[in-house]
Homo-oligomer: A and B are copies of this chain.
Amino acid sequence: MAPAETVQIPFLTAAEALTPKLSYTEERPKDVVTFVPDDKAFLRHTKVVQYNASRLEDKWFSSGDEFIVDFGGHRTGYLSFYLDAQGENVDCPARLRLTFGEVPGDVVEDFYPSKSWISTSWFPHEEAKIDELPGQVNIPRRHAFRYVRVQVLEVSSKFKICFRKIKCYAVTSACKKVAPVEGCDFNLIDTVGLRTLRDCMQTVFEDGPRRDRRLWLGDLRLQALVNYVTFQNNDLVKRCLYLFAGLRMDQKVMASLYERPEPRVSGDYILDYELLFVVTLLEYVEATNDISTGRELFGICQNILERNHQEYIKDGIFQMKPGVWYFIDWHDDLDRFASMQAVFVIAFKAAQSLANKLDIGVDYTEDIRLLSEGSLALYDEDKGIFLSNGQISWASQAWMGLAHVLPQEQHVRAIQIAMQNPNAIRANTPYCYHYVLEALFKNGARDACLALAKDYFGGMVDRGADTYWEAYREDDSTFSPYDDHHNNSFCHAWSCTVSWFLRL
């Protein structure tokens, strides 16, 4: 039997009512630029400013001409311009190619051929044929970009075109002005984080405004955390919780969902993400004191825990099953057993806290005890670290640290030992890195956490990030979970949590 979609209309109706109003801001490009290949630059290119973008008003272009505008910062929005045309005879349409760049490689490197295993239809280019010249051109698709490469593919030889009043109507549901963190040297690092979250906050928390433009449960938790201490659009978190609650499949809260054309789940299910629904709801209730939402959705948390406990836990030990997606990180070599064990502990503890807060009489004490015991069995006392089927990884230490199965200082030490081990499986994404940082923080190592955050996120900024990237390895700017860095997202909300740590 095909899995049944469990659509709960009241939850969807609640979500619909919480759809935020988007704010639109007009942004003008700063410069017309080129990029010079540069082996020494992390992003492989160095920008050269050609002239101020206001001078485009005097530039006339023919077939084969092109230019790149730099908006000076990343935005999610809609491109528009007035396409002027002058000459002996404006006698045909103009065919343009527009390529939207979050990073320089987007606008100067060839997309094809590609080895990407996700669809190349994500590549941020499109053709526009403009029939009526001169005239206003509003590109109807939303894009995420700092740079736009404009190529004049075909016009006639009888006229030239001029791109006037190029603009981006930047769009977001993050409307509140956020104060910078007082007395800290993280200002730019924080700004990049806030910008990242702002550009992902639309009518849901999108993972990335370029790709997938989709609400993912694992990403939601991190975005929500940052949101509570910055933009405080808490109804957007609530809306997303109701969407996940309203669109389950075979009772499962799925890993991601789409809003349009109408809300629906994707086919993706990720066990650790589903367990994090419980944590996300707890944190929402803690941030808002919205007890009624907590009560309304607590039944789903119970279902998540009890169903998955029955399916995956035997004698307090997580049982890996083939064909199930455990995310933890984008890393081919990572053994996820220990991390998953820890996620179970975390979810049960969160549910217990939530039940206590909501005054609901459930008692997971025994489950927590058994799962914690199972976790401790993975701890190698001699080495001072958790092993996952013998493997040492940052992720295992991080998740166990958040499960709090040992005294704080031992968790901190486990993380530090793993990070100092060159053979350990490291974090490939800011998502996984976040959990390393959070585990340090929550185990009392605030300074170590911030130093590491400064090093990591500051490193991304130093290497050219306007917004934080979905995937980041300091040693390889072309690393991609999708086998092609052109399909990476360079404004990815799961990477914005430095702005949370700075405000704790």
A-side residues, CB < 8 A to B, are: 63, 87-95, 118-122, 126-127, 129, 131-135, 141-142, 153-158, 211-214, 258, 260-261, 266-268
Contact = CB atoms under 8 A, between A and B. Distances in A.
A156 B118 contact: yes
A154 B89 contact: no
Contacts of A90: 258, 266
A156 B118 CA distance: 6
A154 B92 contact: no
Contact of A118 (B91, B132, B211, B266): B91
Contacts of A63: 119
Given A93-B122, A120-B154, A158-B267, 15 more contacts: A63-B119, A89-B266, A89-B268, A91-B118, A91-B119, A91-B266, A118-B156, A119-B155, A121-B156, A127-B127, A129-B141, A131-B142, A132-B261, A133-B261, A135-B261
A22 B89 CA distance: 28
A221 to B, nearest CB: 21
Contacts of A212: 91-92
A127 B126 CA distance: 7
13 contacts: A89-B266, A89-B268, A91-B119, A91-B212, A92-B118, A92-B212, A118-B156, A119-B154, A120-B154, A131-B141, A131-B213, A133-B261, A135-B261
- The dominant DSSP class at the A interface is loop
A211 B91 CA distance: 10
A154 B121 contact: yes
A267 B95 contact: no
Nearest to A126: B129
A96 to B, nearest CB: 10
Query: Which of A92, A120, A260 is most buried by chain B, counting CB atoms within 10 A of its CB?
Result: A92
A91 B121 CA distance: 10
A354 to B, nearest CB: 31
A91 B141 CA distance: 17
Nearest to A152: B121
Nearest to A87: B267
A135 B262 CA distance: 9
Given A127-B127, A141-B131, A89 B267 contact: yes
Nearest to A131: B141
Instruction: Report, nearest first, the 5 A-B pairs whose CB atoms are least far apart.
Output: A119-B156, A89-B267, A121-B154, A92-B119, A127-B127
Contacts of A91: 118-119, 212, 214, 266-267
Nearest to A258: B90
Nearest to A114: B154
Contact of A88 (B132, B214, B267): B267
A127 B141 CA distance: 13
Query: Which of A95, A126, A155 is most buried by chain B, counting CB atoms within 10 A of its CB?
Result: A95
A121 B95 contact: yes
Given A156-B118, A156-B119, A132 B260 contact: yes
Nearest to A133: B261
Contacts of A95: 121
Contacts of A261: 132-135
A255 to B, nearest CB: 10
A261 B137 CA distance: 12
B267 A92 contact: no
A145 to B, nearest CB: 15
Given A127-B126, A132-B260, A155 B121 contact: yes
